[in-house]
Amino acid sequence: MTHTICASDAGEGLAHFQRLWRALLSPGTDPIVRLERLLETEADELGLEYGFVSRIDVEEGTERFEITHGSHGTLQPATTVPLSRTYCRRTITDSDGTVAISDALAEGWGDDPAYEAFELGSYLGTTITVDDELYGTLCFANATPRAAPITDAEKALVELHARWVADTLSLRNGRPARERSLDAVERRAAAPDDVDSMLDALAHPARRVVLGALLGDATGISAAALERRLDDADDGLRLHHVDLPKLADAGYVAWDDDAEVVSAGPKFPEIEPLVRLVRAYDATFSA
């Protein structure tokens, strides 16, 4: 089973993100519950039974399962195991920080300590880095081989989720998240209408182009330059009469109609974290 957004077009993929982030950003939800929801949702989407967030202590040589999903006997919260007997030992030393195993026995893992200890037939894990230091791993696994091989797109998706997990853990532990983190969204999570507004702003490709173009651009961008980035010539007309006014009304952009220049609006910082996430998704899966 291949993940929905890795086997669909960009529109269906964005719809998945909208459902997922509505659940993760629902008002008043404890960070641990958000992480549990992520594990449950994405384990199901990936066709894997288990999901977990771990804390790794390299010096002590241990891995502690902090948040888990699934009924595996060992993968339970607060359980600590020797790092040397886990797949994650390979994950944290991998050059990309991500390891995917679709069929452990077929891929030569049968005599590996990790397979002997956990008997996991498939595994997809990536590193979690908090404040530029290794925290642990975000992983999904199954007792049997996965029916469909794990794809590069699915690996990239889990890496994307790991970034959000890192920010959530940083906030939960009382440490400042990296600059321009999800903190802006976390602070506004008490207003459901704001979440709906952000998701609506990202629902159309032309609006995603506008918002993505403003990332890191303090001076703004011309409407003509935005039009050149659009796939469909008809979107140029829509841009001026629908999308820019809509984004301006929401406060996400400032639209100088006379100068034909678009710049970040007063509420752009609120939507920026989600724009960055969606941009990462688009670059990975819609090419």
Query: Does 286 have pLDDT greater than 50?
Result: no
Q: Please report the domains of the chain, with CATH numbers, ordered by start residue.
A: 4-183 (3.30.450.40), 191-285 (1.10.10.10)
- The pLDDT score that the predictor gives to residue 173 is 63
CA 155 vs CA 129, 159, 198, 218, 261: distances in Å:
16, 6, 26, 33, 38
**For 171-175, what is the mean pLDDT?**
60
Nearest CA to 100 out of 154, 53, 24 is that of 154
Residues 144-166: pLDDT tens digits? 999 999 999 899 889 989 988 99
Residues 242-259: pLDDT tens digits? 899 999 999 999 988 777
pTM, entire model:
0.65
Q: Is 231 exposed, middle or buried (0-12, 13-18, 19+ CB in 10 A)?
A: exposed
Q: Are 134 and 92 in contact (CB under 8 A)?
A: yes
